[in-house]
Amino acid sequence: MILILDLVLRLALWLLLAPLVPGIINKVKAWVAGRRGPPVLQLYYDLAKLWQKGVVLSTLASPGFVAGPAVAWVALTAAALLMPLGPAGGALSFQGDVLLLIYLLALARFGTAWAAMETGSAFEGMGVAREVSYAVLTEAAIIAAVLSLSVQTGSVRLVTMLAPAAGAGAALLAAGLFTVLLAENCRVPFDDPNTHLELTMIHEVMVLDHSGPPLAVVLHGASIKLLLFAVLLVQAVLPMGELPPLAAAGALASGVLTATVSVGLVESLLARFAFRRVPLLLTTAVLLCLFALLLAWKGGAA
């Protein structure tokens, strides 16, 4: 009974707090630009409105058009439940759970791409092609980061991998994972979530034909993914295992807030990169995580 209650509370925490992250980013961007900007809770209002609207379906779309966002949302929610929360540990923790986390993130991407291809739109197909091509490098960076944590701790269990003090490659790992966070969540300089020009969009063009509740599921799933990567980044580089429980919880919350504000500052101070420069930046993220892996390996060998 206690396990079920803990699982329900964690699920509610992820689902309720996730839409707050994009709101904070938009508020930071507005503050830097000298504007008032939308309310921090704007995404909550948008989701409530979308759930009350009808769904417009393409005549070419199969049931997969609706099932794709649902599969992606379930996969991201399951991945969030695998993620430890500082001193509280993980709700669904087991040996090798980090491998399941990587596969769930890949499944979420497949669900979104599947739904986009169902429309038969050339623009959405173009967005899918860009999304999966960039994913080749982002997934390589994630795997290298996971390997560095695994070598450092000698475990493939998230609770163990994210608990000890950060090693010598913490700065490299932080830079690499932050770059992956921006790419995986289609933020500037990789993509602009506020643009609606089909020729330059990546993720946004993939959901142009969604409306009503399916669009709400897509937007909520994207906020869960953003929060998930922020939590992963903070716990991968901060020495959570050496802090008392209350201090660790405060450090986790402060770290996630710092990562969120940093995303807003990056989007305010940088312009979107040309497509030909994106692979170079993603390759840099892969190399940073590989150097962190090398430091963890050589440090363990010494």
Residue ranges in the chain assigned as alpha helix (H): 2-17, 20-32, 42-51, 64-82, 97-117, 122-153, 158-161, 170-184, 203-206, 212-237, 245-269, 278-301
Phi and psi dihedrals of 167, rounded to 5?
Answer: -90, -165
> What pLDDT digit, counting tens, does each position of 112-156 carry?
999 999 888 888 888 899 999 999 999 999 999 999 999 988 899
User: Is residue 191 a contact partner of residue 116, using CB atoms and an 8 Å limit?
Assistant: no
Let me know: does 169 contact 293? Beta carbons within 8 Å: yes
User: Under 8 Å CB-to-CB from 67, ≥6 apart: which residues?
Assistant: 111, 114, 115
Question: pTM of the full predicted structure?
Answer: 0.95
Triad 148, 73, 147: Cα angle to 5°: 5
Asked whether the beta carbons of 185 and 222 are under 8 A apart, the reply is: yes
Q: Give the list of residues 6+ apart from residue 258 with CB closer than 8 angstroms, or none.
A: 234
SS (H, E, C) 131-185: HHHHHHHHHHHHHHHHHHHHHHHCCCCHHHHCCCCCCCCHHHHHHHHHHHHHHHC
Which amino acid type is present at position 38? P
Would you give the DSSP letter of residue 245?
A: H
Residues in CB range of 101: below 8 A, 6 or more apart: 79, 82, 83, 158
Amino acid symbol at 17: L
| Averaged pLDDT, 21-26 | 96
The C-alpha atoms of residue 183 and residue 198 are separated, in whole angstroms, by: 18
Query: What pLDDT digit, counting tens, does each position of 152-182 carry?
Result: 888 999 999 987 766 678 999 999 999 999 9
pLDDT at 55: 92
The residue that leads in pLDDT, 166 or 36, is 36
CA-derived radius of gyration, the chain? 19
**Would you tell me the crossing angle of helices 97-117 and 122-153 to the nearest 10 degrees?**
180
Q: What is the pLDDT of residues 250-259, one digit of tens each?
A: 999 999 999 9
- Chain mean position to CA 138: 11
pLDDT by residue (tens digit) across 76-102?
A: 999 999 999 988 888 888 999 999 999
Both tokens assigned to 264: 């807003």
- Residue bearing tokens 């050589």: 298
Q: Check pLDDT > 80 for residue 241.
A: no
